Structure 1
Amino acid sequence: MPPQEGCSSPTDEEARAGPRPIMTATAEHAAPRQREDLAEVADAAAFLERVEARLDTFLAARSSLLLEVSPDLQPVTRILREVARGGKRLRATFGYWGWRATGTPVTDATVDVAAALELFHLAALVHDDLMDHSATRRGVPTVHTAFAGQHRRGGLRGDAAEFGNGAALLVGDLCLTWSDELLDGSLLAPARHVAARRIYNLMRTQVVAGQYLDVLEQSRDHTTVDAARTVLQFKSAKYTVEHPLMLGGAAAGAGPDLLRACSAYGLPVGEAFQLRDDVLGVFGDETRTGKPVGDDLREGKKTLLVLVARDRADRAGREVLEAGLGNRDLDAAGVAALQQVLVSTGALDLVEQRIAELTARGADAIRTSDVPAPVASGLAELAERIAGRAS
């Protein structure tokens, strides 16, 4: 079957050519910043445009390979390309800043490394949504939900949910495979490729370990704050900020001191990011988060926010928590009751304080490092933005 209408089948050479840089720095950012800092922000925005284009053309080319196998794979290519579009592109962004921290000019290899990170992230999202039974992501059906819908519309035999789950597993595996293709085809110098691959492999192993620990802790009657923090660090914090930043640096030839600076910044900022995500999972605006308000409560996620509230709640508050957490049929009133416990126990205030402390620690670490001033400034600002992002 030919590619989808309106889509070409680019060669790898064509796929490597990103669009012309687009300068997207806004006037509100321009006023207080130095000219060199503003140039870095504009370059970062243009870089993400290149990553987006690289992903689109790469997936178009790989979709053509799938369609050569059978036209029945058309829904796979369509759904995969749809869910690959959009998102915050945080991992690509941190990969960019890690590369720039070395003072090395951005190349097509930088774009490929960043795109590989985003495909790996997409694999993690597809599998995570499946394990969490999430119906939507970024305001659209999750992959397993989309395939289940396809099963029902097509009048296929068997259970639609099981079909959707199996298809989502395979789509996630495809993203993992293709992320390797992008990284290994990035034309990095051999020594830099080895250094980058070492960090990339560690990141992948630790994410799976963190994901398993999350599944395990959700199955236990009691979870400690320390256990929850371990899950937070390895499932999300390290692979959102620390490892992408270090990967970008290693791919550009960063030495040990710079990689240590990346780690000193990345781990606290990554933890702050995930804590903010936990807050938004309970108090966020669905139209902006792309996920139903209270879904984390319905899933019974044992976040720091919930564990602190459980430790501090009085008898009535604990009864509300026990009745509501993990209840898949929790309605708006039930969500509101749980929110009240999280606020009245001071759990929300404590987490907000923790976010602020972690963000400041990361920003201070990068400002006092030997990272070029414009890059340090950009990273400090980015830490503030992602840790305090609006719901």
Structure 2
Amino acid sequence: MRSALLIESVERELSRFLDRHRAVLTGVHSDLAMLADAARQAVLSGGKRLRPTFAYWGWRSVQPDGALGEEQLIRAAAGLELLQACALVHDDVLDSSDTRRGQPAAHVRFAGQHRDHGWPGPAEGFGDAAAILLGDLLLSWSEEMFRDAIAGLGADRAGAAGNHFDLMRTEVVAGQFLDVLAQSRGAFDPDEALRVIAFKTSKYTVERPLLIGATAAGGAERLLGSLSSYGQALGEAFQLRDDLLGVFGDPDLTGKPAGDDLREGKRTLLVALAAELADPAQLRVVDAGVGDPELTADGVRRLREVLVDTGARDRVERRIADRAAAAATAIDSETLVLPDAARALLGLAQAAAHRSF
């Protein structure tokens, strides 16, 4: 299945699921249409659909195109996007981010509805509370959609895939907590930054989805080991590219204002390396600017100069190339991965390393 057709299938499954559950919510009370509409916006307003894509190619590493069970796997993989929508909604509350994919974040949208209706009390409080509940609902729905679909593959394969789905949810929360902890401690630690990436991105975005697909397909242990190696390496490359785009990217492409990661005080490898390599004057710029919510465009510019002049940006670029190459090696050396899947995974490794959004 071509990438465009896969994404169309995922979008169709998500739309059908959301339509059914909108009817459930509005059957409880008409006011819940607001929540249903917000869920649809959070899920269907864009996104790369990486997790379903990797789940599909994990499946196709074992099974040929159109094999029995592929439809159930795609439906289960679509459920991973409900988990991702939950994570993004909650992440925007945690980071006080105003936008997501170029549109108002869920908590901002809810706060705006509060103001539009002239309700009493603080609009921001309602916005945060409603967004947290929206994220909780999406988390619940992800479990429902995944389990209902994967059950059609039989108890053994469904159980194995479900175990990876359980670990995926635990690991992403663990990574998110480690990220919040790193920001609260205020230190710039490259090892800590890589640990956050391992759980918040590598396992969540690439490794576990691949293993969900491959175990659902009945993949052998040797193949699963190679997919794990690929996922860990590529997930790191993907996140490091994301960190660079958060500082140096084009907002028209990324959908977020350039420099927001600096204002939010994210302890990325990029920033940690700059702090480690900086001279005293440069370190003062880093200490003063990273985590300042009022950081001006000029402040962002000065921080960018430090990130470049210390060599931190070049080091991250080299690590991205190294990790993308390691991902390719894991697939090239694995003769058990079916050829179509190997080609697709190699292409995804290149795309992740060199993307601009």
TM-score, normalised to structure 1, is: 0.88
State the secondary structure of the residue aligned to 1:258: helix
Q: What is the identity, as a one-letter code, of the residue corresponding to 1:376?
A: A
What is the aligned partner in structure 2 of residue 113 from structure 1? 76
Asked if 1:90 is matched to 2:50, the reply is yes
Q: What is the identity, as a one-letter code, of the residue corresponding to 1:67?
A: T
Q: CA deviation at 1:259?
A: 1.0
Asked whether the 8 Å contact 2:42–2:89 carries over to 1, the reply is no
Give the whole-Å Cα distance in 2 for the aligned partners of 1:251 and 1:183: 12
How well do the aligned residues superpose, as a CA RMSD in angstroms? Answer: 1.1
Q: What is the identity, as a one-letter code, of the residue corresponding to 2:16?
A: T
Give the whole-Å Cα distance in 1 for the aligned partners of 2:103 and 2:26: 24
What is the aligned partner in structure 2 of residue 102 from structure 1? 62
What is the aligned partner in structure 2 of residue 78 from structure 1? 37
Deviation string 1:5-29 (CA, Å, 9 cap, x unpaired) is xxxxxxxxxxxxxxxxxxxxxxxxx
Q: How does 1:235-254 map to 2 (within 5 A)?
A: 235-254=200-219
What are structure 1's unaligned runs of at least 5 residues? 1-39
Q: What is the identity, as a one-letter code, of the residue corresponding to 2:47?
A: G
What is the aligned partner in structure 1 of residue 7 from structure 2? 48
Asked whether the 8 Å contact 1:225–1:304 carries over to 2, the reply is yes
Deviation string 1:46-99 (CA, Å, 9 cap, x unpaired) is 121111010011001101100001111111111210121121000011011001
Q: CA deviation at 1:188?
A: 2.1
Structure showing greater relative contact order (alpha-carbon pairs closer than 8 Å, 6 or more residues apart): 2
Asked if 1:291 is matched to 2:256, the reply is yes
Give the whole-Å Cα distance in 2 for the aligned partners of 1:289 and 1:155: 33
1:135 alignment partner, one of 95, 98, 106: 98
Q: What is the identity, as a one-letter code, of the residue corresponding to 2:59?
A: W
Q: What is the identity, as a one-letter code, of the residue corresponding to 2:41?
A: E
Give the whole-Å Cα distance in 2 for the aligned partners of 1:199 and 1:66: 30
What is the aligned partner in structure 1 of residue 235 from structure 2? 270
Q: CA deviation at 1:45?
A: 2.3
Q: CA deviation at 1:120?
A: 0.8
What is the aligned partner in structure 2 of residue 15 from structure 1? none
Give the whole-Å Cα distance in 1 for the aligned partners of 2:253 and 2:186: 33
Q: What is the identity, as a one-letter code, of the residue corresponding to 1:363?
A: A
Asked whether the 8 Å contact 1:367–1:373 carries over to 2, the reply is no
Deviation string 1:227-272 (CA, Å, 9 cap, x unpaired) is 1111111011111001101111111111211211110111000000
2:118 alignment partner, one of 155, 167, 178: 155
TM-score, normalised to structure 2, is: 0.96
State the secondary structure of the residue aligned to 1:58: helix
Q: What is the identity, as a one-letter code, of the residue corresponding to 1:193?
A: A
Give the whole-Å Cα distance in 2 for the aligned partners of 1:113 and 1:301: 32
What are structure 2's unaligned runs of at least 5 residues? none
Give the whole-Å Cα distance in 2 for the aligned partners of 1:255 and 1:151: 53
What is the aligned partner in structure 2 of residue 28 from structure 1? none
Give the whole-Å Cα distance in 2 for the aligned partners of 1:324 and 1:88: 31
What is the aligned partner in structure 2 of residue 175 from structure 1? 138
How many equivalent residue pairs? 350
Asked if 1:387 is matched to 2:347, the reply is no
In the TM superposition, structure 1's runs of 4+ consecutive aligned residues that sit over 6 Å from their partners are none
Q: Which has the higher helix share?
A: 2
1:374 alignment partner, one of 311, 327, 340: 340
What is the aligned partner in structure 1 of residue 21 from structure 2? 62
Asked if 1:342 is matched to 2:307, the reply is yes
2:272 alignment partner, one of 281, 304, 307: 307
